[in-house]
Structure 1
Amino acid sequence: MGQLTVMQVRNAKPSVGPDGKRRKRVLVDGAGLLLIVAPTGARNWVLRIKNGQRRRDIGLGAADIDGAGRNALGGNGSQPDETPLMLRRILSLAEAREKAAALRKLAKAGGDPIAERDRERRATPSFAVAVTEAHAALKSGWSDRTAKAFLASLEEHAVPRLGTAKVDVIGSADVIAALAPIWTTKPVMARKVRSRIGQVLAFAKARGWRRDALPDARELRSGLAKQEQSKNFAAMPFIQIPAFFTDELGKDATASRFAVLFAILTAARSGEVRNATWAQIDLEARTWTRPASMMKMAKGHVVTLSDAAVALLKQWKPDEALRDGLIFPGLKGNPLSDMSLTKALRTAGRNETVHGFRSAFRDFAAERCPTIPAMVAEMALAHKVGTTTEQAYLRSDLRDLRRSLMDAWGRFAAPSLSSVAPNVTAIRKTEAR
């Protein structure tokens, strides 16, 4: 029977010397089990054993003084601690006695109690292994693109620094050290890597490989340089688009040039246009049905095609027999690269981005179509609209309203391809009287 009581453990305080300074205090429970109270007040269990004439002190863990308990699985005083005894770092008096007895018995049998104490802890995987395990377990809920990006970004930017570290010992300082080389030079990627490191550590904690809390976001921000404020995609003012469109339409018909013009008329992303196929187009219904696999939000989306968009497609491929496969194929029938569309803009003497045409469309919708709800323009851009609750109740895709908006955009951007004249009146300068 041990000498200490739960109340004594809870109330144990350091010794106070003649000079008034606090000093370490050692309380003996018996059978080699000691409670060490540090000058700071921290209380830790230690098992003292003798191997011949040699004395060994083996740390068992901190004393659980409030009865709350803490373990890798999130247990508390009202729930059983399912963490293996040798892995527990906060021990009640009874748990300390049990752990000490097991290690003492092992030592008497000639075993190594420290090796036994750390045996299960050594089974904790490294960060590199945890990345692979997390990817394998979580990828079924991601798109193929997201799964590949998750793995590639961590292998390039996190594993070289954190790969060999056990997931249970990685803290804020380690994450900061991994992120620092790219934090200001590649800010967008750095933020993604930070989030993905957090996902891996959260996964490790859920698996019982980690007990400590995840690195604190405030500590990470404090330890990293301030990033420059993110810049929007360079966009052409929407008022300039009709002239630009007309000028480009009068040039040689190339896949990259017509892809840019189609991106303008559909307010689509570059990748969506480059991977568009004729099978997705219904010229009679005037729709472009895009599958979830090609969408950023991994949700299928139908674009309503204006008269101008339909006319552009027919001008690009007048022969119906040739309307097969990719609409705007690159070399050897492969999709165009993103750079090919950018090059088309640079050749035209423009410094904006293809993505910026989406912003121009949004500005047009706000300024020239004020009677159409903002939600319609957002849905036309394939953005998420409203809160989760609002999305649950909004069952319509507002296609009729979106068609009206896209038709107005087509008439404005490409009047020569539209069946009716644009609803735009030029404002001429008049002489002063």
Structure 2
Amino acid sequence: MASRARNKLNVKQVEALLWLPDPKKPLDEQRAPAEPNVYSDGGGLYLRVRPSGRSWFYIGTLDGKRIELGLGSALDISLSKAREKAGKIRSMLIDGKDPRAERSRTTAVIKPAVTFGKFAMDLVADIEDGFKNPKHRQQWRNTLTTYAQPLFDTPIADVTTENILAILQPIWLSKPETASRVRGRVERVLDAAKVKGLRSGENPARGRGHLELLLPKRSKASVKHHPALPFAEIATFMAVLGKRPAIAARALEFTILTAARSGEARGMTWSEVDMEAKLWTVPASRMKASVTHEVPLSDAALAILETCRPDKFKPTDFVFPAPRGGSLSDMALSQLLKRMERDDITVHGFRSTFRDWAGEKTQFAREEIEMALAHTVASAVERAYRRGTALEKRREVMAAWADYCLPASLPSDLANHAPAS
């Protein structure tokens, strides 16, 4: 029996695609949201699923050329309403009419000024695909909707320095990192509006030579870093962590032993691991600096991989999968620390623990330590010169770090971990 050309989706399917995680519940206790994709209902109607939202759009042809029209958010427009809109567009195309021109005539009667909020949210939707980390997409929206909300109803052409100061002054000293992000993101929104011809003149959110002259100067003490565990306590911490059976515990152990960023370890697949060469190669697409990074694996790190490796797996499978599929979330490791009653430290802080240990307790060169952390060092010429020998030197660094984290005098269950369920 031939498949239906139209009305391929049903209400239950659409509801499943619209489902998003509950921010009040741990992500590892919820089902995974729909993967970013485009779903066809037939007849030119499509549902686009992104981490930032779900929307309907129509694709058709006019005079042999492809046209695409947005139909609105799937949270506001039901499946039946979307089909109704698609049907009207389809009828116009059959009659040789351009639905875009019709839409322009309809909206030309009243053309309200573009507000800051409308332009900002549209801009985020346009640029978010360039963000490697889904968390950054949500942070962009959250910082603007939370702290720049007073600007949302203001025509973007009329945003002034006084408007910017009004949203920054309450948080400039109390939340310096957040305030800096808000300022930078508002500045980018206003710059983009100027490029679009919606603004003119100087950018009132510019920091240097402008807002810095009007906002109070921060003390260096106000700069906050990720809370880190003192390196003298790492061995005791690892002994306690090693007794926990969850896959999140194995992921955290591996993250600590490789001094990697959490996202790099959580997103690792078996295709990136060469057990015989004792090497983990992180592709450029998953690195902060967009440069491929080779991580020499200590015996302790390899032991963790051995305990996590199933009898059968595909190269694209995650090494540390979430209980309900996909990769572990950042929240999974943070929640693990909370369950261990260690709210005083962060996952990212373990990189600082490694850096402090290497700088204070070893004689390794600074460049070797920085390269172990995947920090860019020196010039391109020096990096090319060091490429041949740095890997073996970094093997020594990571082996020494593993010995420090897992000394023989402290209990360690690394070699006897049962595979996490």
With the shorter chain as reference, the TM-score category is: 0.5 to 0.7
Equivalents in 1 of 2:339, 2:122: separation in Å?
47
In 2 relative to 1, CA 266–214 (structure 1 residues): closer, same or farther, beyond 3 Å?
same
8 Å CA contact 1:124, 1:209 repeated in 2: no
8 Å CA contact 1:267, 1:358 repeated in 2: yes
Equivalents in 2 of 1:150, 1:252: separation in Å?
31
The percent identity for this pair of structures is: 34
The alpha-carbon deviation at position 219 of structure 1 amounts to 4.7
Moved more, 268-277 or 190-199: 268-277
Which residue identity does 2:211 align to in structure 1? Answer: L
Counterpart mapping for 1:16-27 below 5 A: none
8 Å CA contact 2:132, 2:286 repeated in 1: no
* 1:127 and 2:116 are equivalent in the alignment: yes
Residue 302 of structure 1 aligns to a residue in which SS? strand
Match 2:395 to one of 403, 414, 417? 403
Alignment root-mean-square deviation, CA? 3.3
Q: How big is each residue's C-alpha offset from its partner over 1:74-132, in whole Å with a ceiling of 9 and x where there is no partner?
A: xxxxxxxxxxxxxxxxxxxxxxxxxxxxxxxxxxxxxxxxxxxxxxxx99744335435
Which residue identity does 1:378 align to in structure 2? Answer: E
The alpha-carbon deviation at position 184 of structure 1 amounts to 4.9
Which residue identity does 1:279 align to in structure 2? Answer: S
The alpha-carbon deviation at position 177 of structure 1 amounts to 1.7
Q: How big is each residue's C-alpha offset from its partner over 1:167-212, in whole Å with a ceiling of 9 and x where there is no partner?
A: 4432211111233454455432321120011112223334444332
The alpha-carbon deviation at position 231 of structure 1 amounts to 2.3
Structure 1 partner of 2:185: 196
Structure 2 partner of 1:279: 271
Equivalents in 1 of 2:222, 2:403: separation in Å?
36
Which residue identity does 1:273 align to in structure 2? Answer: A
Which residue identity does 2:325 align to in structure 1? Answer: G
Residue 357 of structure 1 aligns to a residue in which SS? helix
Residue 145 of structure 2 aligns to a residue in which SS? helix
Q: How big is each residue's C-alpha offset from its partner over 1:125-151, in whole Å with a ceiling of 9 and x where there is no partner?
A: 443354356557756765464872575
Q: How big is each residue's C-alpha offset from its partner over 1:285-326, in whole Å with a ceiling of 9 and x where there is no partner?
A: 112222334333343322111111112221344x54368622
Equivalents in 2 of 1:191, 1:152: separation in Å?
15
The alpha-carbon deviation at position 270 of structure 1 amounts to 2.1
Gaps of 5+ in 1: 1-121, 418-433
- Greater gyration radius: 1
Which residue identity does 1:306 align to in structure 2? Answer: S
Which residue identity does 1:288 align to in structure 2? Answer: W
Match 2:312 to one of 303, 321, 326? 321
Gaps of 5+ in 2: 1-110, 410-421
How many residues were matched structurally? 290
Q: How big is each residue's C-alpha offset from its partner over 1:212-234, in whole Å with a ceiling of 9 and x where there is no partner?
A: 22225355345556667122222
Residue 383 of structure 1 aligns to a residue in which SS? coil
* 1:177 and 2:166 are equivalent in the alignment: yes
Equivalents in 2 of 1:192, 1:309: separation in Å?
36
Structure 2 partner of 1:369: 362
8 Å CA contact 1:267, 1:361 repeated in 2: yes
Structure 1 partner of 2:348: 355
Counterpart mapping for 1:46-195 below 5 A: 125-131=114-120, 134-135=123-124, 142-143=131-132, 145=134, 148-149=137-138, 151-153=140-142, 155-157=144-146, 160-184=149-173, 186-195=175-184
* 1:290 and 2:293 are equivalent in the alignment: no
Equivalents in 2 of 1:144, 1:316: separation in Å?
25
Structure 1 partner of 2:225: 232
* 1:210 and 2:199 are equivalent in the alignment: yes
In 2 relative to 1, CA 344–280 (structure 1 residues): closer, same or farther, beyond 3 Å?
same
Structure 2 partner of 1:90: none
In 2 relative to 1, CA 393–282 (structure 1 residues): closer, same or farther, beyond 3 Å?
same
Structure 1 partner of 2:85: none
8 Å CA contact 1:274, 1:337 repeated in 2: yes
8 Å CA contact 2:148, 2:182 repeated in 1: no
In 2 relative to 1, CA 334–185 (structure 1 residues): closer, same or farther, beyond 3 Å?
farther
8 Å CA contact 1:131, 1:151 repeated in 2: no
Structure 2 partner of 1:269: 261
